[in-house]
Amino acid sequence: MDLERRPCLRNGDMISELPDALLLQILSLIPTKDAVATSVLSKRWRSLCKMMPSLTFCSSGYDLERFSDNVCRFMLSHQAPFLQSLHLEMDFEKDSTRDIGVLLGIAFGRNVRELGLEVYSDEPYRFPTSLLNCGTLETLKLGPRVLLEVPFPVCLEALRTLSLFDMTYKDEGSIINLLSGCSSLENLEVMMYSPYKVKTFTVVVPSLQSLTLISDNEDFMDYVVYVINAPHLKYLTLQGLTEDDSCVIENTPELVEANIIDVPGVIYEKILGSLTSVKSLSLKITSPLKLSKFDRIFNQLVCLEIHTYEPEWWNLLMLMLHSSPNLQVLKLFSEWFRNPYRLTYKRWSQPIYVAECLVNRLETLVWKNYEGEIEDDREVAQYMLRNASRLKTATFSKFDIQPEKRLGWLKDLESVVRASNACRVVFK
């Protein structure tokens, strides 16, 4: 019996035979409170817990004072040469301001490289300005309910990634002073749920390569002017701006990819001149354009995505085709449900001239959620097939469609005399 049980016991304790480095990686994959709970197993586990490079603490469900005391004791006993990451989620009360500050101070004393702070309260927590001078911090993620009051320039020379989620800003100068101190910043993500005291959000960061600006302003009486000046910017996402907002993009000659999501046509018209260097462009425009012709040419554009969010979306499509002579990939995403009671709109009409990209460049057409029963959609699809001389594949798809209907739509598309003999029509 003992001989039979011994291999089982040996296999059950195999984890203790693993090297410390691997055990630390395993402990870092589970919640910190669970990792700490393993310290009762042995002295070795206790010492390993004190060396964990990544820590996550959440106060939800705990008495806040007891939670703060326990976390403080644990972090003061932490023995790793540096703290790779610390993520704090805390319910904030006025009396707990000092506790959060102490925890953050300990983390910065351990040369933390990545810090995340989420605060849940009625009143925002004021982030200590003294901590915005750190030579080791590489990633900083703040919000929600964190107040930034930065009256003077700071120094975060190692910071590469900054995320500001539903923040409160003392004033516009606080934003400028924060960003001006991030000399190595490459990735910036800003989510504005209410502009509060900010009317102009200025991003002037020479090192910046990726920028995401998301606005979800519930008070439409407020507006924000976004000013972007980033000479090395390569990736840009703008989402949720309203017609009352404004966006000024300056000095972005290296931009290669842009995603313009849930943005009105008037905003797109104002910024399109700054997007002409992109190779990939995704558009989800929430209102029709007023322009009938673009003055700018997208010579570098190779891949274009258009979400058919509004009626007369084909006007935007035709404008982009005529302005993109080197376009090779076109993706359409139908999202507008036609309502028979909706106001009347202008029907699709075939343009007089065929776009240069259709004649010489376009190779791939993808149309998701294609509506073969809607005459305008059907005519646009047929126009593309009749005029795209270099087209290799045209892939159409529709969610929740009966097999018989799918076959009928496919036959309708295949019956079109195509400009490209090599074009293969697929319906998924």
C-alpha to C-alpha distance for 232 and 330, rounded to whole angstroms? 27
Tell me which DSSP letter residue 422 carries. Answer: T
The token duo for 117 is 């702070």
Question: Which residue type does 59 have?
Answer: S
Contact status, residue 162 vs residue 185, Cβ threshold 8 Å: yes
Helix (H) or strand (E) run with residue 248 in it: strand 246-250
Burial status of residue 140 (CB atoms within 10 A of its CB: 0-12, 13-18, 19 or more): buried
Q: Give phi and psi for 249, each to the nearest 5.
A: -110, 120
Chain position carrying tokens 């490209």? 420
Comparing C-alpha atoms, which of 180, 131, 183 is closest to residue 160?
183
C-alpha to C-alpha distance for 110 and 105, rounded to whole angstroms? 9
Contact status, residue 188 vs residue 162, Cβ threshold 8 Å: yes
C-alpha to C-alpha distance for 38 and 42, rounded to whole angstroms? 8
State residue 308's pLDDT score. Answer: 82
C-alpha to C-alpha distance for 86 and 329, rounded to whole angstroms? 42
State residue 13's pLDDT score. Answer: 54
pLDDT tens series, the chain, 428 aa: 344 444 444 444 566 666 767 777 766 766 666 666 666 555 566 667 777 888 888 887 777 778 788 888 888 877 777 889 999 998 876 556 677 888 899 899 889 999 999 998 888 899 999 899 999 999 999 999 999 999 999 999 999 999 999 999 999 999 999 999 999 999 999 998 876 678 999 999 999 999 999 998 766 557 899 999 999 999 999 999 988 899 999 999 999 999 999 999 999 999 998 999 999 999 999 888 877 777 779 999 999 999 987 778 898 999 999 999 999 999 999 875 544 434 456 788 899 999 999 999 999 999 999 999 888 899 999 999 999 999 999 999 998 889 999 999 999 999 999 999 999 999 98
C-alpha to C-alpha distance for 162 and 169, rounded to whole angstroms? 15
State residue 341's pLDDT score. Answer: 39
Comparing C-alpha atoms, which of 415, 428, 352, 363 is closest to residue 389?
363
Measure the CA angle with vertex 385, ends 380 and 389; round to 5°: 130
C-alpha to C-alpha distance for 14 and 45, rounded to whole angstroms? 14
Task: Work out the number of other CB atoms within 10 angstroms of the CB of residue 353.
Answer: 7
SS3 165: strand
The token duo for 397 is 């798809």
